[in-house]
Structure 1
Amino acid sequence: MIAREWKCRVPDVHSKGFTSYLYETGIKDSSATPGFLGAQIFHRSSDGKVELTLITYWDKLESIEAFAGSDISVARLYPEDAAYQLEPDLSVQHYEVIEHQFMAAHRG
């Protein structure tokens, strides 16, 4: 399994709107691509901005290429990104996932 990591920053005021927009663009498009296995979005606030990290999971590099294009190290951006004052990383990182275990939530 391959993890694809992309980060961006937006002003706090755009955090909720951009997160919804991210679901309608990046998550929707990647999940429609064969070989997509799942995604996670991480959120943290710092100095009036929100940093979002999107990690998508894929079966193989060729599946990522079908989503991202021939240079999979380049971030896939969307036309309306600027409306959210997006500060995107222009490149992405890829990792081989060697462990992926989640424990069921304890409910007491």
Structure 2
Amino acid sequence: MICRIWHGRTSRRQADAYARFLEQRAIPDYRSVAGNLDVAILRRDEGDVTHFLTVTRWISEDAIRAFAGDDLLKAKYYPEDAEFLLEFEPQVLHFEILAEAHASG
């Protein structure tokens, strides 16, 4: 399994709207791709800036390729991102998942 992490920054005043956008647009996009296991959107407010991390898990590079294209590490952006983001980081990070544990319950 592969964990894909994207980072973006918005102004604090636009953070709530961007969070809604990510929930309504990005999450369904990720989840629509076969091989996407899950999506988590993380938020951290820091002064006048808000950081977002999108953390996704995938079964394989082929699954990521179906989402992001042939350049696996290239960040994927939506046209609407231009309304919110302070910059466009060119790449994401990939990590191989070596071990994991889930809460019992």
TM superposition score normalised by structure 2: 0.91
CA shift, 1:98, in A, is 1.3
**Counterpart of 2:32?**
32
CA shift, 1:88, in A, is 3.2
Contact 2:5 2:54 in 1 (8 A): yes
Q: How many residues align?
A: 105
User: Unaligned 5+ residue runs, structure 1?
Assistant: none
Partner secondary structure for residue 3 of structure 2: strand
**Counterpart of 1:61?**
61
**Counterpart of 1:43?**
43
Amino acid in the other structure paired with 1:12: R
Moved over 6 A (4+): none
CA distance in 2, matches of 1:48, 1:55: 23
TM superposition score normalised by structure 1: 0.88
CA distance in 1, matches of 2:3, 2:16: 24
Residues 56-105 of structure 1: CA distance to partner in whole angstroms, max 9, x if unpaired?
A: 11000100000000001111101111212443322111111112223359
Show the 5 A alignment for 1:3-42: 3-42=3-42
CA distance in 2, matches of 1:24, 1:86: 20
User: Unaligned 5+ residue runs, structure 2?
Assistant: none
CA shift, 1:9, in A, is 0.3
Give % identity.
30
Amino acid in the other structure paired with 1:59: I
Contact 2:39 2:55 in 1 (8 A): yes
RMSD of equivalent CA atoms = 1.6
CA distance in 2, matches of 1:26, 1:72: 17
Amino acid in the other structure paired with 2:7: K
Amino acid in the other structure paired with 1:30: Y
Partner secondary structure for residue 53 of structure 2: strand
Contact 1:7 1:88 in 2 (8 A): no
